[in-house]
Amino acid sequence: MKYFLILTAITLLTSGPAYAADDGHSMPDLPNVDWSFEGVTGHYNKESLQRGLKVYRNVCSACHGLKRVYFRNLESLGYDESQIKAIASEYTIADGPNDEGEMFERPGRPSDRFPQPYPNDNAAKYANNGALPPDLSLITKARAGGADYIYGLMVGYEEAPADVDLLPGQYYNEYMAGHVISMPPPLSDGMVAYEDGAAETVEQYAKDVANFLTYAAEPELEQRKRMGIKVVLFLIAFAAVMFAVKKRVWKNIH
């Protein structure tokens, strides 16, 4: 009992709010978005994935890379081979050296990764007031809250309270640690056209791009969940068989 009380006291003294901010303003809970990929039987919404890809390409790709995703991976989003080739060819890829030892540029191919927006980190920092935009390939795995965090960050821009001083190039975001972020509000209503009739609002853009980035970080999610269900069903059946065997073997022993 004594050791339990000591451990409890240590835990209370060393723990703090999960989203505490250091500017005197409390961090609200992340939005609780209803994602199609949640739950044991969760799956990706391909229409949302395609819209999220469009938001990434039209908005996010100007500053953020997606270096772990290949164009050929877009097949899982419902694109056919000709569509993937068309998307890849819209990008210019640095390649080489050629027979003369020179680097050259060519249209993208399905076997290429999404190209980086900057040639190196220093160029990225110079273009963004010293801040290095993170690669988005694994961003939903790298941030607590995953897709909810990405959604919250996209919709969390607000006017700074009177007691918060922002430097030039800084913005107030209620879901950012410390509430100060160097990225300007990336989304606005109507900035990306949707052909399928989905709402062209900040909230819908944020949900779609968070959905797409979750896929980018975990493209095998659906396969993993299907395999998990099969394994659980197998274990249940196996346990039932073993129980029947045990009853038969030991039925005459009391």
Read off the pTM.
0.84
Decide if 196 is inside a domain: yes
- Cα separation, 65 vs 117, in Å, equals 6
Q: Given this model, what pLDDT does residue 7 score?
A: 40
Tokens of 76: 């899982």
Decide if 7 is inside a domain: no
**Which letter does DSSP use for residue 215 in this model?**
H
Decide if 23 is inside a domain: no
Tell how many helices (H) and how many strands (E) occur in the chain: 8, 4
Write the pLDDT tens digit of every residue in 122-153. Answer: 999 999 988 899 999 999 999 999 999 999 99
Contact between 30 and 175 (Cβ < 8 Å)? yes
Write the pLDDT tens digit of every residue in 93-114. Answer: 999 998 889 999 999 999 999 9
- pLDDT exceeds cutoff 50 at 16: no
Write the pLDDT tens digit of every residue in 188-247. Answer: 999 999 999 999 999 999 999 999 999 999 999 999 999 999 999 999 999 999 999 988
Q: Given this model, what pLDDT does residue 253 score?
A: 76
By three-state DSSP, how is residue 96 classified? Answer: coil
Q: How confident is the model at residue 20 (pLDDT cuts 50, 70, 90)?
A: very low
Decide if 210 is inside a domain: yes
Question: Between these two residues, 26 and 220, which has the higher pLDDT value?
Answer: 220
Q: Which helix (H) or strand (E) holds 147?
A: helix 147-155
Mean pLDDT, residues 33-41 taken together:
95
Decide if 105 is inside a domain: no
Q: Which amino acid is at 219?
A: P
Closest CA to 210 of 153, 158, 132, 131: 153
- pLDDT exceeds cutoff 50 at 76: yes
Closest CA to 183 of 120, 138, 139: 139
Decide if 177 is inside a domain: yes
Q: What's the CATH code of the domain at 138?
A: 1.10.760.10
Decide if 96 is inside a domain: no
Decide if 103 is inside a domain: no
Q: Which helix (H) or strand (E) holds 172?
A: strand 171-172
Total domains, the chain: 1
Q: Whole domain around residue 150: which residue ranges?
A: 36-69+113-243
Question: Between these two residues, 253 and 51, which has the higher pLDDT value?
Answer: 51
- pLDDT exceeds cutoff 90 at 170: yes
